Amino acid sequence: EVYLLRIAFRNLFRRRGRTFVIAGILAFAVLFFLFMESLMMGMMDMTFGNVIDFETPHIEIAKKEFLEADNEDALTSDRVFVPDRQMLDSIRGSDGYLAMTTVLDFPGVFFGGGYDYPVQVRGIDADSFSSVFKNEEYLVEGDFVAAGQLGIVIGDQLAELLDLGLGDDYELRFFNQAGATLTLQGTIRGIVAIPHPEMSRNTVLVCRERTTEAWGFDSDTATQVMVRLDDRDKAASQAAYLGEQLDNGEFTVRSYREAARFLVSLETWGMIETYFILALFLLVGAIGIVSAVVLAAIERVREIGMMKAMGLKEGEIVRVFLWESAGIGAIGGAIGCTLGAAAVLAFKTYGIDFAAFFDLGALGVPMAGHVYGAWNTASFVWIFLFVVVIAVVASIIPAYWAARKDPVDAIQHR
């Protein structure tokens, strides 16, 4: 086998130009895949992180009627509830539990600065909200929502859209199921610059006691209980656990990924697109390898005949060509992994500001600012091995074609 490897290694560099052109195609495929995977992982890590921090934390518990209702529908009594002790104890007993808070979400119309604008009103428990969500950490002006206060907190994008500032008056109007108009009035208490464009533009935060008072509900009434865990990887299992604990058909317990199905679909389609383009590059590389083996066989017909005349079997000659193809794949994979490592490391360190190119918020993606790549060592290992395997598989048929040459005809080049 060592002798066959020596022949393959020598032949690999007899046509350096051809070898490195094909290896270059494979290297580009590897580089593209590693960078795109890093980009997708970085984007999805940021988007799901923003969903957890500002929209739906690791676990959300709500009535089925609320989750199935349209976002523009008026809030009705069958969509709200008061968490009981059994529910709260079950939540606290879940693995990785850190904190929970209750919110009252409903649609409304915001009047301010001479404009009216449809918004999502989120009535929050001022005492526990910031232990689950991170809005307060992004406060850029004023103060955050306080218990018993009528002042609201809005996003910087809504403030810019309606030309509003601290202390400006506002009015929130919303409608009960009987069609009666309910109102909340006060001043803008604070402005946050959260990296979730949609919520920054469409959501206002107000003290929950004021919203329940306006609706005529009990002060502990909520549309959702929001739960934060110490690890997002536990969200699915603990949502299933709580679903079993609250299995009375009234409530739905879901993880942040179930709540953000659009992002899950986006993640899936993004990876499918990446693998599809990778497959195209590898197909071109495989065609190049087939061509290289065929050309090598034609150029070395007499040499193949001499090897067979010296006693080498067909299988041994096939292995020579397979080793050559594996060498091309290894060269391409090594170059691609080296360039990919440099690109991913730079991306992970410095990131890319997508806001300079297009507005992801306008596409409904909860992401703003710099996107940083993610490093996945396993991807470097498997893509290198995958490229080598593709190179070997692509050369099997032409290698057998070359090895089956009759030694007499081959030596005479007929």
pLDDT in tens, 395-413: 788 777 767 765 555 455 5
Query: What pTM does this model have?
Result: 0.80
Yes or no: say if 302 and 411 are a contact pair by the CB < 8 Å rule: yes
d(C-alpha 318, C-alpha 54), whole Å: 60
Q: What's the confidence (pLDDT) of residue 289?
A: 73
Q: What's the confidence (pLDDT) of residue 108?
A: 92
Residue scoring higher pLDDT (296 or 26): 26
Instruction: Check whether 281 has a pLDDT greater than 80.
Output: no
Which amino acid belongs to residue 215? W
Lowest mean pLDDT among 55-69, 354-368, 380-394: 354-368
Mean pLDDT (whole number) for 293-300: 66
Q: What's the confidence (pLDDT) of residue 272?
A: 82
Q: What's the confidence (pLDDT) of residue 205?
A: 96
Q: What's the confidence (pLDDT) of residue 298?
A: 63
d(C-alpha 273, C-alpha 204), whole Å: 36
For 196-249, what is each residue's pLDDT tens digit? 988 999 999 999 999 998 888 998 999 999 999 999 999 999 999 999 988 777
Instruction: Check whether 110 has a pLDDT greater than 90.
Output: yes
The three-state secondary structure class of 153 is strand
d(C-alpha 124, C-alpha 130), whole Å: 10
Yes or no: say if 90 and 242 are a contact pair by the CB < 8 Å rule: yes
Mind giving me the DSSP string for 344-385? Answer: HHHHHHH-EEGGGT--GGGGT----SEE-----HHHHHHHHH
At residue 121, φ and ψ (nearest 5 deg) are: -90, 130
Residue scoring higher pLDDT (265 or 107): 107
For 320-352, what is each residue's pLDDT tens digit? 778 888 888 899 999 999 999 999 999 999 888
In order of 69, 84, 223, 234, the CA distances from 78 in angstroms are 11, 16, 10, 30
Residues 36, 41, 43: CA angle, nearest 5 degrees:
95
At residue 371, φ and ψ (nearest 5 deg) are: -105, 130
Mean pLDDT (whole number) for 112-141: 93
Handedness of CA 256, 119, 99, 142 (dihedral sign): positive
Taking every pair of C-alpha atoms in the chain, what is the biggest distance, in angstroms?
100
Mean pLDDT (whole number) for 72-100: 91
Instruction: Check whether 301 has a pLDDT greater than 80.
Output: no
d(C-alpha 321, C-alpha 316), whole Å: 9
DSSP 77: G
Helix runs in 59-170, H state only:
64-68, 85-92, 156-161
Q: Mean of the per-residue pLDDT values for the chain?
A: 85
Q: What's the confidence (pLDDT) of residue 315?
A: 78
Burial 296-323 (b: 16+ CB within 10 A, else e): bbeebbebbbebbeeebeeebbbbbbbb
Burial 147-176 (b: 16+ CB within 10 A, else e): eebbbbbbbbbbbebbebeeeeebebebbb
Q: What is the 3-state secondary structure (H, E, C) of 175-240?
A: ECCCCCEEEEEEEEEEEECCCCHHHHHHEEEEEHHHHHHHHCCCCCCECEEEEEECCHHHHHHHHH
Instruction: Check whether 278 has a pLDDT greater than 70.
Output: yes
Among 230, 233, 258, 232, CA closest to 243 = 258
Which amino acid belongs to residue 154? I
